[in-house]
Amino acid sequence: MWPEHLGVGKPFDPDQRMERFLLAYLQDREKQSEKAQNSLSQVAKYSKKQLFKSSKNHLLGIYAIAQTDGEKEAQQFISQLLASQHGSSPQTKALVEFYYSHPLLEFNRNFIGTLSEFINSQ
């Protein structure tokens, strides 16, 4: 829900990566792989546009890029993220470490729970 006093209510270009990532998970479970891929593509696209901002939601972007464009592209995104102005921050280092220690082997409830816990911590 968006505040009503913002005109139409929705801010310009909001960060909806978590919602879209969870939507992709639900679509994947319902065997709607084309819709799931579209949702993941939106997460990847938004993450690539937001390299200049420090955010734990970049982790969702890394996973989305790996799923839609492949591991090589995900590695390239990680390199760009680490080379950005926030690349040496503890938060950025922690999300990269999380990605390497929690590969997306199966898009299931346990993975989503672990990922959500990490993003909502600290």
* Residues 15-39 pLDDT 10s: 999 999 999 999 998 999 999 999 9
Q: What is the pTM of this model?
A: 0.87
Host domain of residue 52: 16-103
**For residue 116, is it within any domain?**
no
**For residue 49, is it within any domain?**
yes
In the chain, the number of structural domains is: 1
What's the start-to-end Cα distance of the chain, in Å?
24
**For residue 5, is it within any domain?**
no
The CA–CA distances, whole Å, from 72 to 9, 27, 101, 102 equal 38, 25, 17, 17
Nearest CA among 33, 101, 87 for reference residue 58:
87
- Residue 54 confidence (pLDDT): 86
pLDDT at 1 over 90: no
Nearest CA among 8, 17, 72 for reference residue 40:
17
pLDDT at 48 over 90: yes
**For residue 41, is it within any domain?**
yes
**For residue 23, is it within any domain?**
yes
**For residue 118, is it within any domain?**
no
Torsion of CA 114, 115, 117, 119, to 10 degrees: 160
Q: Crossing angle of helices 90-101/71-83, nearest 10°?
A: 160
**For residue 87, is it within any domain?**
yes
**For residue 55, is it within any domain?**
yes
